[in-house]
Structure 1
Amino acid sequence: MNFSNKIKALVDSPDLDRRRFKSHIVNGFCFCAKHKETSRTIQNSGVITRVETLSYASRKDKNPIIGDVIYYGMLVDIIEIRYSSQLKFVLFKCDWVDNQRRKREDIFKFTLVNFKYLMYKDNVRDDKPFILASQAEQVCYVLDTIKPDWQVVMKMTPKEVSGVDFTTPEVESVCSQGLDENVATCEEDNVWVQQGAEAMPLDADETLDHHSNVDIEER
């Protein structure tokens, strides 16, 4: 689809028939909605997104700095909207932590967040909880044993995934990523292992690139 056709399609409203998915693979990460993890020992719902914004040191600051602000969220829904057969977008709906009230760093420079204080907790029309799936990176939230209301943010590394067969809608995807080498690792292996799941075939000759994705439609 060329640029002019995309503009024409965007002028029209998207199809009312939207699709919802159990999981979605994008940017080398396998994402899963939070409510699908209740019986799992693996976490795929942690999301961060980077937003370029102006930052001021104080109210009197006349020289703002442009930089990335990271927002921390939990994936609650995966929705596809379609403008045409060739133009469609996958959106992530997330619970976003209020950075001003419930984000901090500990003495070891680890980022901690508290999901009891959210940006859009009232679920009103003006809320903006959605991002494009392509804007998402994956993290894991590990419970702070000293302050249970807080969770430590652990960055994940993208994983090459290919040859995945998602043709059976009843079967949920099981994907895991390795922890970034620059952050602490978890000693309990069972936190990252899915019990009773069949392994997915991988083809070494084919990998998903940065913009590829595979998803499962939820019935």
Structure 2
Amino acid sequence: MEVAHWFVLNNCDEIMGYLYEHEEMMKREHPSHLVAQKHRELFPQWFLDSVNKLKSSNSPTYSDELYNLAFGPIRAELFLGCNVNSVKFLGEARDEKLCTQNSGVHVPGGGESTDIDFYGKLTTVVQLLYKDRYQVIMFKCRWFDTNPNRPGSAKIDHGLLSVNMNRTWYDDDPYILANMATQIVYLDDPKAGSGWNVVQKMDHRNVYAIPELDPTDNDVNNVADQRLKSSMENDAETLRDTNVIQEPFQIQGVSSIEIPIQSITIDLVGPSNDDDVVIKEAEEEEEEDWETESDDSDDNESYYSSDDE
């Protein structure tokens, strides 16, 4: 939870100023080789203290969202997969039982690694639950080593990228926000040998790009509705309804996620009581807080239904 929460903090625009201020403080107080370590260790508590000061002084920059984020997650729930932007992602263990692939993940490089793309496989969907029902959906992934400076990690042959699935990295920092992921598939590379797979990007069926129109222009809206209706009728598949989960901290894209019921729940009683951890497997039968949806797909599954109404 601490590693996942640290990733959330570093990808939340609202607190970039706090991160910069604390990092500069660490540079003044510690040797250069300890700055990154101390920054990561000390920032969460310093950030919470700073937000508490804003609250006590009735600062206009204080908000409940900011406080809940600084307080940190109070519980984490683990799932086998979820739907993000109409694309189904499944964990690697679930994928191995199927004849299709839904676990391949691609994320463009950022920060100091803008020239490196990251390729991996989803292992677990993690839902961080904060105070006041705020939540963040994250992917825990197994990342393959694509560092171009390391031989035997990745190669390009005739324009095709192959990765060595026996070489991994970022094992201690495996998390990304769910909306960062782009789905890919891996194909065996017989030329490179065992353990090598070709990365293949693809377009998804039943994903419609609906243009934004002027709501006051009735003629244009009617034409667009007719085109969309015709497109959906011609497709044999049926679009699945989306269960909306409350959007956390205004992180774009996280709200439209469906999560299957098969899960393991980790309950933490208070953020300071780390010893009282109860792990339980969720039953796949119908329960009070869950509802079952069905569609025309081959595998009907149960999905999490938010009760935030």
Same fold (TM over 0.5): yes
1:193 — aligned with what?
Answer: none
The aligned amino acid for 1:11 is A
The aligned amino acid for 1:24 is C
Is 2:238 aligned against 1:153?
no
Change in Cα spacing, 1:4 to 1:68, as seen in structure 2 (3 Å) is: farther
Is 2:242–2:258's contact at 8 Å kept on the other side of the alignment? no
The aligned amino acid for 1:156 is M
2:180 — aligned with what?
Answer: 135
- Write the deviation string for residues 66-106 of structure 1: whole angstroms up to 9, x where unpaired: x4531000111111011135421111111111112311111
Is 1:28–1:159's contact at 8 Å kept on the other side of the alignment? no
Change in Cα spacing, 1:200 to 1:84, as seen in structure 2 (3 Å) is: farther
- 1:215 is aligned, of 259, 262, 269, to 259
Is 2:91 aligned against 1:33?
yes
Three-state SS of the structure 1 residue aligned to 2:66 is: helix
Three-state SS of the structure 2 residue aligned to 1:128 is: coil
The aligned amino acid for 2:138 is L
Counting only pairs closer than 5 Å after superposition, residues 30-179 of structure 1 correspond to structure 2 as 30-54=88-112, 67-100=114-147, 101=150, 102-106=153-157, 108-120=158-170, 127-146=172-191, 147-160=193-206
2:77 — aligned with what?
Answer: 19
Gaps of at least 5 residues in structure 1 are: 56-66, 122-126, 163-198
Which one has the bigger strand percentage?
1
Aligned residue pair count: 162
Three-state SS of the structure 1 residue aligned to 2:131 is: coil
Change in Cα spacing, 1:152 to 1:99, as seen in structure 2 (3 Å) is: same
Question: Which structure has the higher relative contact order (CA within 8 Å, separation 6+)?
Answer: 1
Three-state SS of the structure 1 residue aligned to 2:165 is: coil
Gaps of at least 5 residues in structure 2 are: 1-61, 209-235, 245-251, 263-281, 283-309
Cα distance in 2 for residues equivalent to 1:213 and 1:159? 18
1:166 — aligned with what?
Answer: none
- Write the deviation string for residues 167-203 of structure 1: whole angstroms up to 9, x where unpaired: xxxxxxxxxxxxxxxxxxxxxxxxxxxxxxxx97426
TM, length-normalised to structure 2:
0.47
| Cα RMSD after superposing both structures | 2.9
TM, length-normalised to structure 1:
0.65
Cα distance in 2 for residues equivalent to 1:156 and 1:6? 37
Is 1:47–1:138's contact at 8 Å kept on the other side of the alignment? yes
How far is 1:5 from its partner? 2.1
How far is 1:25 from its partner? 0.8
Aligned structure 1 segments of 4 or more residues deviating by more than 6 angstroms: 206-210
How far is 1:38 from its partner? 2.3
Three-state SS of the structure 2 residue aligned to 1:217 is: coil
